[in-house]
Amino acid sequence: MRGLSPEDEMPAIPPPSGPCIEADCPYYRGPFSTTPQPDPMSTLKNVAIVGATGAVGAEMIRCLEERAFPVATLTLLASARSAGKKLKFKGEDITIQELTPDSFAGIDIALFSAGGGISRDFAPHAVKAGAVVVDNSSYFRQDPDTPLVVPEINAADVKSHKGIIANPNCTTAISLMALYPLHQAFGVTRIWASSYQAVSGTGAQAIEELANQSREWASQNREWDAAKLDSKPHVYPHQIAFNAIPHVDSFLDSGYTKEEMKMENEGRKIMHHDKFRASVTCVRIPVFRSHSIAISAEFEKPVTVEAAREVLSKAPGLDMLDDPANKVYPLALDIAGRDNCAVGRLRMDCALDNGLSFWVVGDQLLKGAALNAVQIAECLL
């Protein structure tokens, strides 16, 4: 059985402390804006994607094209299994090459999305060849020399890179899109959260597993009480179709999973908030795309629903969908394929003295991975 997450964790180290720095990269138009304003002719880059055939890699190709990233050449890298196959970029076929230590000659920016082991083994070769690496795995996220960046929050941290910039965990990035603006206004102390995570968060094979199990059930016209299928799970430890699995990534001695602790560890580093605490339960559900997170947050300064709504309605990269009386709230199906995350179900938390509960949804292949990586790359132009 494949692991639940292909990532290898670095040991947790204390995050950097200090105030959040205002962004000043050429693509950053204010504390929350990441709208690119490229001068394509002056900034053309040779770009490589490592893991181009994967669920995230495919979105990286699309984001580069849709955001008109100034690409001089695009090199697509994957395993030997994919070498020789072709993928399209701007209508042109590009032949996939096998990743080797020599793949990075002449590359300016390398977007890595092939798991922690590949990042560990090959990112140093890319840096040595002169490329800046934007790494989507968890391998470098807690390395003190590696900035961990959500451009809407800490774009200025990009400047401190020493060759590698890390892209955050998808559930964390999506949650912070709503939590960070609230933190700026009210000062978050701690959160309790539960995630409802889509199978595409585990990659292309997991998408197939849910599709195959759903097909098997439909083809046999099973009743609801006979939903246990004959086909054995390969990616997940249990059948994912018609199920909810409270097991994302591997378990730690504390009883939490690695995925669950990323919210606190990565949240601290990204928000420059070393006292931030997060108790999270991550659950895999049979949704193809978009992670949803239910969050209860406690704040230092008094919070109200109205004030929170005011703050969140101005947050870039975030849409407010909050009209429950008319059945309006963020839905995974609606948010899939969209760049913006969405927040709704705002209410005063009835179990906290000064807390707010809300529901955030984001396409984890986009803001949780490919889009955020390309936004980081835009900060390098």
Q: Residue 294 pairs with which residues in a beta bridge?
A: 194, 359
Give the shortest CB-198-to-ligand NAP separation in angstroms.
8
3-state class (DSSP) for residue 25: coil
Starting from the edge strand earliest in sequence, which strands make up the sheet with 341-348, in order? Answer: 277-284, 188-197, 291-299, 355-362, 341-348, 318-320
> For residues 28 and 140, which CB has a smaller minimum distance to ligand NAP in the complex?
140
Shortest separation between residue 336's beta carbon and ligand NAP, angstroms: 12
Strand 71-78 versus strand 45-50 pairing type = parallel
Q: Which is nearer to ligand NAP, 94 or 356 (CB)?
A: 94
Question: In the bound complex, what is the minimum distance in angstroms from residue 51's beta carbon to ligand NAP?
Answer: 4
Nearer to ligand NAP by C-beta: 233 or 355?
233
Where does this chain bind ligand NAP (CB under 6 A)?
Answer: 5-7, 51-57, 78-79, 81-82, 99, 113-116, 118, 136-137, 170, 200-201, 203-205, 364-365, 368-369
Expressed in angstroms, the distance from the first to the final Cα of the chain is 41
Nearest-approach distance from CB 136 to ligand NAP, in angstroms: 4
Q: Is 379 a catalytic residue?
A: no
Pick the catalytic residue from 161, 282, 291, 379: 291
For ligand NAP, the closer of residues 258 and 322 by Cβ is 258
Please name which of 196, 178, 184 lies closest in space to residue 358, comparing C-alpha atoms.
178
Nearer to ligand NAP, 137 or 175 (CB): 137
CB 119 within 8 A of CB 112: yes
To ligand NAP, the closest distance from the beta carbon of 239 in angstroms equals 20
Least distance (Å) between residue 41 CB and ligand NAP? 31
Q: Please say which residue, 151 or 355, places its beta carbon nearer to ligand NAP.
A: 151
- Least separation, in Å, of the C-beta of 243 and ligand NAP? 19
Give the residue with the Cβ less far from ligand NAP, 182 or 248. Answer: 248
Q: Is residue 31 within 8 Å of residue 23, measured between CB atoms?
A: yes
For residue 141, the Cα-to-chain-centroid distance in whole angstroms is 12
Select 12 or 311, whichever has its Cβ closest to ligand NAP: 12
282 has catalytic annotation: no
**Token pair belonging to 105:** 């000659």
Selected catalytic residue, list 63, 170, 282, 379: 170
Residues 6+ apart with CB under 8 A from 173: 150, 167, 362, 367, 368, 372
Which residue's CB comes closest to ligand NAP?
Answer: 54
d(CA 168, CA 147): 10
Cβ neighbors of 193 (< 8 A, separation 6 or more) are 175, 263, 278, 279, 280, 281, 293, 294, 295, 296
DSSP line for 47-87: EEEETTTSHHHHHHHHHHHHTT--EEEEEEEE-TTTTT-EE
Please state, in angstroms and as integers, the Cα–Cα distance from residue 74 to each residue in 99, 265, 335, 373, following that order. Answer: 14, 33, 28, 15
> For residue 344, what is the enclosing H or E element?
strand 341-348
For 154, the 3-state DSSP assignment is helix
Smallest separation (angstroms) from ligand NAP to the CB of 246: 19
Cα distances from 262 to residues 24, 54, 111, in angstroms, run 27, 22, 21
Which residues are annotated as catalytic? 170, 291
